[in-house]
């Protein structure tokens, strides 16, 4: 009898504990946010991803009525920033600007990762944009054809910079190598803020960069621009021909951006963040700023992000395999 009574008491205590935890979680979700939110950008300050992160954080902060503080944790193809956020408390107060590298590509490039690409709660899809093929002014190239012709005559002598292993600039370079039938040497950096000076100085020969950071240097005559990686020309840079127009009809490589939170973040919290993101992306000033950067704003919803990840995985897996990109 004593044992039976003890079990009933223990069960009641466990039930009360679970109910208490549930009520606390619900209360936290209702009061969220009650303090500043940290937004981690996995690239260096000054690059396109960092600029995009800051534009959206500033606008989302207005809707959420709380500061959103951007911190840069760059390196290892976004793995450093991703691993940091994955280990944070799942309370919505630390979120990550995640790219296709973070959530799709890295899983096929690395035998081991310091984070689980599926170990996040999706907040929403932010935007998508093409890259531009840039060449060092130290080289005499005047066109994409010049680059390919030289590379075929001098296999392995040309280098291409990237944002890091597994990033969109890396995949664009590998796809270019594969479709053009050339051999280029990959030189990874932590972001455009490191890769561009190397390109301008002639330390590397080529670089697939985002429009936002690459085109100001091209417009200033510091680098040459030969192509864009989307299937169609970009409206804001209509003078730049696509690689598809230049003999590579299947060339299609873009970068995309999203917000995610640590696994286990309450749905009510991620929904509030998603709603703030959607509102930010609908703001006309924000939309113009993104389009000027060569980034097409998306819906800001978690469902679109889930679909993007699901649809892109087989495409990237095939590219990594066909291009024979060696796992790290």
Q: What would the two tokens of residue 270 be?
A: 């991620």
User: Is the domain of 138 the same as that of 223?
Assistant: yes
Distances (CA, A) of 44 to 76, 187, 202, 279: 12, 17, 21, 26
Question: Of 246, 269, 285, which residue sits at a domain end?
Answer: 246
Question: Of 215, 246, 277, which residue sits at a domain end?
Answer: 246
Tell me how many domains the chain contains: 2
Find residue 158's DSSP bridge partners. Answer: 184
Query: Is position 156 within any domain?
Result: yes
User: Is the domain of 262 the same as that of 123?
Assistant: yes
Read off the pLDDT of residues 58-103 as tens digits, 9 standing for 90 and up: 999 999 999 999 999 998 889 999 999 999 999 999 999 999 999 9
Phi, psi of 121 (to 5 degrees): -100, 125
d(CA 162, CA 85): 23
Query: Is position 11 within any domain?
Result: no
186: three-class secondary structure by DSSP = strand
User: Is the domain of 121 the same as that of 149?
Assistant: no
Helix axes 48-64, 211-219, angle to 10 degrees: 130
Query: Is position 23 within any domain?
Result: no
DSSP states along 310-325: HHHHHHHHHHHHHTTP
User: Is the domain of 162 the same as that of 265?
Assistant: no
User: Is the domain of 165 the same as that of 302?
Assistant: no
What is the model's pLDDT at position 327? 58
41: three-class secondary structure by DSSP = strand
Query: Is position 9 within any domain?
Result: no
The pTM for the full model equals 0.81
Query: Is position 16 within any domain?
Result: no
User: Is the domain of 234 the same as that of 142?
Assistant: yes
- Write out the residue range of the structural domain in which residue 73 sits: 38-129+254-322
What is the model's pLDDT at position 7? 46
User: Is the domain of 228 the same as that of 268?
Assistant: no
Question: Of 246, 276, 311, which residue sits at a domain end?
Answer: 246
Query: Is position 3 within any domain?
Result: no
User: Is the domain of 193 the same as that of 290?
Assistant: no
CATH of the domain at 315: 3.40.190.150
Per-residue pLDDT of the chain (328 residues; tens, 9 = 90+): 434 444 454 444 444 444 444 444 454 556 899 999 999 999 999 888 999 999 999 999 999 999 999 999 998 889 999 999 999 999 999 999 999 999 999 999 888 899 999 999 999 999 999 999 999 999 999 999 999 999 999 999 999 999 888 888 999 999 999 999 999 999 999 888 899 999 999 999 999 999 989 999 999 999 999 999 998 898 889 999 999 999 999 899 999 999 999 999 999 999 999 999 999 999 999 999 999 999 999 999 999 999 999 999 998 998 888 777 765 5
Query: Is position 59 within any domain?
Result: yes
User: Is the domain of 114 the same as that of 140?
Assistant: no
Read off the pLDDT of residues 10-48 as tens digits, 9 standing for 90 and up: 444 444 444 444 444 454 556 899 999 999 999 999 888
What is the model's pLDDT at position 326? 66
First to last CA, the chain: 62
d(CA 328, CA 36): 36
User: Is the domain of 182 the same as that of 267?
Assistant: no
- Single out the residue of 153, 140, 161, 201 nearest to residue 180, CA to CA: 153
CATH of the domain at 201: 3.40.190.10
What is the model's pLDDT at position 319? 84
Find residue 297's DSSP bridge partners. Answer: 127
User: Is the domain of 285 the same as that of 147?
Assistant: no
User: Is the domain of 140 the same as that of 241?
Assistant: yes
């Amino acid at each position: 009898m004593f044992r039976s009574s003890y079990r009933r008491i223990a069960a009641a205590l466990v039930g009360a504990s679970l109910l208490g935890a549930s009520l606390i979680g619900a209360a936290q979700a209702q009061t969220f946010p009650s303090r500043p939110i940290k937004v981690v950008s996995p690239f260096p300050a000054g690059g396109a991803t960092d600029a995009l992160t800051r534009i959206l954080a500033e606008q989302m902060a207005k809707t959420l009525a709380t500061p959103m503080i951007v911190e840069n944790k760059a390196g290892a193809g976004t793995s450093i920033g991703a691993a940091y956020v994955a280990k944070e408390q799942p309370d919505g107060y630390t979120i990550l600007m995640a790219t296709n590298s973070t959530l799709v590509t890295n899983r096929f490039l690395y035998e081991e990762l310091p984070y689980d690409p599926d170990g996040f709660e999706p907040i929403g899809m932010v935007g998508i944009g093409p890259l531009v093929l840039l060449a060092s002014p130290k080289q005499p190239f005047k066109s994409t054809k010049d680059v390919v012709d030289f590379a075929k005559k001098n296999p392995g002598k040309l280098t291409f910079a990237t944002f890091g292993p597994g990033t969109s600039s890396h995949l664009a370079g590998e796809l270019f190598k594969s479709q053009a039938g050339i051999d280029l040497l990959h030189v990874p950096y932590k972001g455009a803020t490191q890769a561009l000076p190397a390109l301008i100085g002639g330390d590397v020969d080529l670089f697939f960069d985002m429009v936002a950071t690459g085109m100001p240097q091209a417009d200033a005559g510091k680098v040459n621009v030969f192509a864009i990686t989307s299937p169609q020309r970009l409206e804001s840079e209509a003078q730049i021909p696509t690689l598809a127009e230049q003999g590579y009809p299947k060339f299609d490589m873009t970068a995309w951006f999203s917000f995610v939170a640590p696994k286990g973040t309450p749905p009510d919290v991620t929904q509030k963040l998603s709603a703030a993101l959607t509102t930010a992306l609908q703001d006309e000033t924000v939309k113009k700023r993104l389009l000027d950067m060569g980034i097409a704003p998306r819906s800001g919803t978690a469902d679109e992000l889930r679909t993007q990840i699901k649809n892109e995985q087989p495409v990237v897996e095939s590219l990594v395999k066909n291009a024979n990109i060696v796992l790290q």
